Amino acid sequence: MKHEISIEFFPPQTPEGMEKLRATWARLAELKPTFFSVTYGAGGSTRERTFSVVKEIVAGGFAAAPHLSCIGSTRDSIREILNEYKAAGIRRTVALRGDLPSGMAEAGEFRHANELVEFIRSETGDWFSIEVAAYPEWHPQARSPQDDLAAFARKVRAGANSAITQYFYNADAYFNFVDEATALGVNVPIVPGIMPIAGFTKLARFSDACGAEMPRWMRKKFESYGDDVDSIRAFGLDIVTELCERLLKGGAPGLHFYSMNQARLTTEICRRLG
């Protein structure tokens, strides 16, 4: 059975970064993903760069899903962006609350992602297929798992077509989340977000900050490799491939790879998955 995959990029800050990204997506395009998604900086800080990456992907014959975030956005600015995307023939978007950039006090006119989803629907009807975020291990700012699940259900009821999760390394967290969401009447596909492991220290820090659990046995094993990059990479590939296998066997509708603008690990995981 062929499973759908999607792959995420971030807009590079330099012309060299852009050249590297072109080479990366030429390689990843061979995997025939359903779409490439492109992130959007805190407070909309990468709007132009996001759009230029998206336009190139579309020009290359692939579907692209630009991210849109509430934070720092007004109805007018979002309306303008949606019109640009429609004019470019883009049919998919990822609607997020987004992070408040440091030093920015104002959240903007939309406080939560469900308000953004509602607005996109009211402005553009069924033009866009809308993806929203899901947190199998709960959003770090959620007051409780129940609150977080209710917020997720609100986004779906507002008109989302499917969801992409925060990355995780514990398959049970994902299956448990899907069961609980289904019990609340949520029936859209919930696609697991997959973070290939290129290194340990940075990922451990990042995981602590965003609420993605790195199981103790994994941490200990990674720590034991010290600076041995090859062992870290090999162990990381084994772990993530096994995770993907378990998710797909358990009924996950596909996989969304956080590529970090690199091709090698995502390509290798997909090769192993056949």
Give the model's pLDDT for residue 73: 78
Residues paired with residue 5 on neighbouring β-strands, in sequence order:
255
More confident of the two residues 203 and 41: 203
Q: Are 107 and 69 within 8 A, CB to CB?
A: no
Domain residue ranges of the chain, discontinuous segments joined by +: 4-273
Active-site residues, by number, are 8
Give the model's pLDDT for residue 43: 57
Q: Does position 177 have pLDDT exceeding 70, yes or no?
A: yes
Alpha carbon distance 79, 42 (integer Å): 18
Q: Does position 16 have pLDDT exceeding 70, yes or no?
A: yes
Q: Does position 254 have pLDDT exceeding 80, yes or no?
A: yes
Q: Does position 2 have pLDDT exceeding 70, yes or no?
A: no
More confident of the two residues 102 and 262: 262
Q: What is the mean pLDDT of residues 136-141?
A: 89
Q: Are 55 and 25 within 8 A, CB to CB?
A: no
Give the model's pLDDT for residue 183: 96
Q: Which residues contact 124 (CB under 8 A, 6 or more apart)?
A: 82, 86
- Using a cut of 0.85, tell me whether the model's pTM lies above it: yes
- 98: phi then psi, degrees, rounded to nearest 5: 85, 170
Q: What's the CATH class of domain 4-273?
A: alpha beta
